[in-house]
């Protein structure tokens, strides 16, 4: 995550480490669930690993990403990771337009 390079504060560094650890943990969870998947439904028919992923793991992944984006990184402004990312994006687009 490059936000720490742009914002360059201890808090941005901490958020970057938090995000990296969250994604590492999500990856571990995905791998563990893939290894432990049972491919038989209650009625005895088979279910694909993709269907299990979409049913069980995808909502958890979406919730985790939302929590990361909603993490407050500037308590004075109440700015979240998402707010900072949008500000950086707007500034980048403005710079491109001016070039």
pLDDT reading at 19 higher than 60: yes
How many C-beta atoms surround the C-beta of residue 95 within 10 A?
Answer: 9
- Residue 26 is predicted with a pLDDT of 81
Instruction: Write out pLDDT tens, residues 52-84.
Output: 667 777 788 888 888 888 888 888 888 888 888
Report the alpha-carbon distance of residue 82 to residue 68 in Å, rounded.
8
* Close Cβ partners of 34 (under 8 Å, ≥ 6 residues apart): 49
Domains of the chain: total: 1
pLDDT band at 1 (very low <50, low <70, confident <90, very high): very low
pTM to 2 decimals? 0.45
pLDDT greater at residue 36 or residue 55: 55
- Residue 97 is predicted with a pLDDT of 83
Range of the domain at 55: 3-98
């Amino acid at each position: 995550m490059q936000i720490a390079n742009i914002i360059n504060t201890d808090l941005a560094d901490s958020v970057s480490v938090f995000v990296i650890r969250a994604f590492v943990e999500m990856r571990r969870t995905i791998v563990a669930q893939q290894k432990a998947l049972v491919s038989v439904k209650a009625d005895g028919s088979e279910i694909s690993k993709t269907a299990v992923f979409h049913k069980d793991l995808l909502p958890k992944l979406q919730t985790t990403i939302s929590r990361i984006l909603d993490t407050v990184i500037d308590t004075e402004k109440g700015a979240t990771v998402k707010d900072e990312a949008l500000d950086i994006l707007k500034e980048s687009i403005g710079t491109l337009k001016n070039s």
